[in-house]
Amino acid sequence: MDYSFILQQIVFGLTLGCLYSLVAIGYTMVYGVLRLINFAHGDLLMVSAYLAFYGIVIFHLPWPVGFGLAIALTAVLGILIDRGAYKPIRRSPRISALITAIGVSFLLENLALVVIGARPKAFPEPAVFVGVLETGTLRIPYMSFWVLGVTAVLLAAVLVVVRRTRIGMAMRALSRDMETVRLMGIDIDRVISFTFVLGSALAAAGGIMWCLRDPPLDPFLGVMPGLKAFVAAVLGGIGSVTGAALGGLLLGLSEVLIVAVKPEWSGFKDAVAFSLLITILLTRPTGIVGEELPD
């Protein structure tokens, strides 16, 4: 039994899982508050990565500035999408918002395609992220530790915000009963905007780290990870931040370990998320953390 191999795979799985978690949190928060599956959320990965790319490669910004700016701008984009596309139809039947969300997602992807082009860009790798930890037969890239560390910090921050701050509690109240919260005089739009900012910023961070880990960047980068991140949110229990985190980690681990154990199945790696989704819907629909969200 090659323990270092297993350990490596676990680290890879957790790394991937962290990235899924970051994106999943945004999905779960917006769904909790608005009952909307924000299909455009996954594409924010792509947007932030391109912004970072242009910042560093074209404008020669130092990488912390480039990354920070990319995240900030993506967070703003998140709010703009809500204000521009979702808010006007807040009162319409749910299907309208879902359709609009798909439209926004597709628009982002195709705008990127038209403006930037289909050829994948090579994402810059700042020196501090390069390198591999080698002990004995173990080889783990430093990037993995960065991802694990940054995610842990961000996750802790989000949990503090959601559980301890007033706006966080308003978010949770909103997901239970929008009418009552409105009657309490709380500015719902501000809370919703905040939800989008938080989720978008996390996705943006995830997008940058995704490209650091796996360089090629093209307009459709966010499609699969976005889809899988939503599955992770459902796995964990939609509406719950801890659930999204757990779901993401579980999904990342499953994907990596299944391929590690059965390499001949590597072509079917993408089907893992889907199978997990169907399984959870059949067995425990409320997810791991499992709270029933009121209709």
Partner 1 sequence: MSPSHATETTSHTRDRFLSLTALAVLGVFLWFAHNYLSGYVIRILNTIAIYIIVAVSYNLINGVTGQFSLQPNAFLAIGAYVTAILALSPEEKVQSFIIEPMIWPLSKICLHFPVSLAIGGLFTTLIAFLMAVPVFRVRGDYLAIVTLGFGEVLQVLANNLVPITNGPLGLKGLHPYTTLWWSWGLCIMTVFCVVRLVNSSYGRAMKAVREDERAAEAMGINAFWTKTLAFTVSAFFQGVAGGLLAHLITTISPGMFGFMLTFNLLTIIVVGGLGSTTGAILSAAIIVLLGEGLRTFEEPFTLFGHYFQGVAGMRMVIFSLLLIVVMLFADRGIMGREEFSWRKLIDWARSLAGGARRGRK
Q: Which of 54, 76, 96, 178 binds partner 1 (CB under 8 A)?
A: 96
In angstroms, the CA 214 to CA 70 distance is 18
CB under 8 A: which stretch of 49-57, 58-66, 92-100, 252-260 binds partner 1?
Answer: 92-100
Q: Which of 72, 73, 76, 98 binds partner 1 (CB under 8 A)?
A: 98
Contact 12, 133 (CB under 8 A): no
Which lies closer to partner 1 via its Cβ, residue 163 or residue 284? 284
Q: Does 113 bind partner 1 (CB under 8 A)?
A: yes
Closest among 239, 224, 261 to 27, alpha carbons compared: 239
Q: Which of 6, 7, 99, 122 binds partner 1 (CB under 8 A)?
A: 99
Q: Does 230 bind partner 1 (CB under 8 A)?
A: yes
Q: Which of 59, 224, 261, 290 binds partner 1 (CB under 8 A)?
A: 224
Phi, psi of 73 (to 5 degrees): -65, -40
Q: Is 35 helix (H, G, I), strand (E, B) or coil?
A: coil
Q: Does 130 bind partner 1 (CB under 8 A)?
A: no
Closest among 265, 205, 257 to 64, alpha carbons compared: 205
Q: Which of 37, 197, 205, 221 binds partner 1 (CB under 8 A)?
A: 37
Q: Does 227 bind partner 1 (CB under 8 A)?
A: yes
Q: Does 273 bind partner 1 (CB under 8 A)?
A: yes
Q: Does 240 bind partner 1 (CB under 8 A)?
A: no
Shortest gap between Cβ of 6 and partner 1 (angstroms)?
Answer: 25
The one-letter code for the residue type at 95 is I
Q: How many CA atoms lie within 13 A of 15 on its CB side?
A: 21
In angstroms, the CA 112 to CA 55 distance is 16
Which lies closer to partner 1 via its Cβ, residue 43 or residue 123? 43
What is the CA 159 to chain-centroid distance, rounded? Answer: 15
Q: Which of 92, 137, 165, 180 binds partner 1 (CB under 8 A)?
A: 92
CB under 8 A: which stretch of 159-167, 175-183, 246-254, 263-271 binds partner 1?
Answer: 263-271
Q: Does 35 bind partner 1 (CB under 8 A)?
A: yes
Residues 6 or more apart whose CB falls under 8 angstroms from that of 52 comprise 66, 67, 69, 70, 123, 208, 211
Give alpha helix (H) positions in 35-140: 43-53, 63-81, 94-116
Q: Is 289 helix (H, G, I), strand (E, B) or coil?
A: coil
Q: Does 193 bind partner 1 (CB under 8 A)?
A: no
- For CA atoms 103, 23, 170, 280, the dihedral sign is positive
Contact 116, 108 (CB under 8 A): no
Q: Which of 56, 234, 241, 249 binds partner 1 (CB under 8 A)?
A: 234
Q: Which residues bind partner 1 (CB under 8 A)?
A: 35, 37, 39, 85, 88-89, 92-96, 98-100, 102-104, 106-107, 110-111, 113-114, 223-224, 227, 230-231, 234, 267-268, 270-271, 273-274, 277-278, 281-282, 285, 295
